[in-house]
Amino acid sequence: MNPLIVVCIFTALIHFAEASASCLRLAGIRTKHVATSLSFVNASLLVSRMSNMFQAPILGGMVDTAILRGSVDLLAANFRYIIFAAFVGNLIALILAPTSIHIFTKAIERFQVRPSVPRLIASLVLPRNFIPLIKSFRLPRLSSLKELSLQGIPKTFLVLNIFVASIYTIGVLASMMAGALVPAYRVTAVQLSAIVNGIATILFTLMVDPGAAHITDQVAQGKRPEKDVRTVVFYLLAGRVVGTLILSQLLFWPSAHYIKTVTLMVKGLFLQ
């Protein structure tokens, strides 16, 4: 199989898993087990981490091959396909949000009866559970979307979420692209991906996640209606879709050149 297709599939899986984890907030509210639902985030991200484990070596091989063949422009085009795959993964997560919420709700309820995450995960592959999983399929209803309202919900963290999603998407890709532009120092360039991802991490930790968590807590305490969490989940997912479709594509090349510039600055420290 074409390595680009493999990377695109893994990228879509990574972003689907990470985006779907947002649905655990609403599942926690409906089951009244918010703490359990949030602890399930790490379990749901196993797909993301395993996909990344297989994806990373192939990405590295793509960069090395592009350098050897002198096809850096083709590498940049391929990276844009990978960014588009991230958008597809987020879009599928948005469309299947009702399905994810239903499955997560059932999983949390089952966990209360038999508190074992490995058993819970193993039960998903049992043939007898295939039909219930298929019956869990749901699409967003127009009536539910009409109920969503941003009234009383802070907009800042929702807007910042768009930037965070776009930066996370291109962080590693931009650093690898910078490494292809300065192949003699590509290891330095790849290590500098923290410059890009660090910005996203700070914004997410200080601005995005606390805002969403505060609203979730208020709903759990009965101070807000459940639809506020549904609104937050929808706009967090929609923000990821917009961020990866538009901003990631716009910021990819400037970010690669930014990392390239910093790489050359680091290079200068050792050549004095």
pLDDT tens readout for residues 45-99: 777 777 778 888 899 999 999 999 999 999 999 999 999 999 999 999 999 999 9
Six-digit token string for 73: 């422009």
Q: What pLDDT is recorded for position 140?
A: 82
Q: What pLDDT is recorded for position 271?
A: 67
What is the mean predicted confidence (pLDDT) over 103-118?
Answer: 83
Total structural domains within the chain? 1
Which residue would you say has higher pLDDT here, 129 or 264?
Answer: 264
Q: Determine the Cα–Cα distance for residues 12 and 82; give it in Å rounded to an integer.
A: 8
What is the mean predicted confidence (pLDDT) over 152-168?
Answer: 92
What is the mean predicted confidence (pLDDT) over 117-146?
Answer: 76
What domain range includes position 189?
A: 3-270
- DSSP characters for 134-155? HHT-----HHHHHH---TTS-S
Six-digit token string for 145: 């979307």
Q: Determine the Cα–Cα distance for residues 141 and 147; give it in Å rounded to an integer.
A: 10
pLDDT bin (cut points 50, 70, 90) of residue 272 is low
Residue 126 DSSP class: S
pLDDT digits (tens, 9 = 90+) for 173-225: 999 999 999 999 998 999 888 877 888 888 888 889 899 989 999 998 889 99
Which residue would you say has higher pLDDT here, 258 or 139?
Answer: 258
pLDDT digits (tens, 9 = 90+) for 233-271: 999 999 999 999 999 999 999 999 999 999 999 887 776
Q: What pLDDT is recorded for position 45?
A: 72
pLDDT bin (cut points 50, 70, 90) of residue 15 is very high
CA-angle at 252, arms to 16 and 267, nearest 5°: 120
The region of weakest confidence among 143-152, 157-166, 232-241 is: 143-152
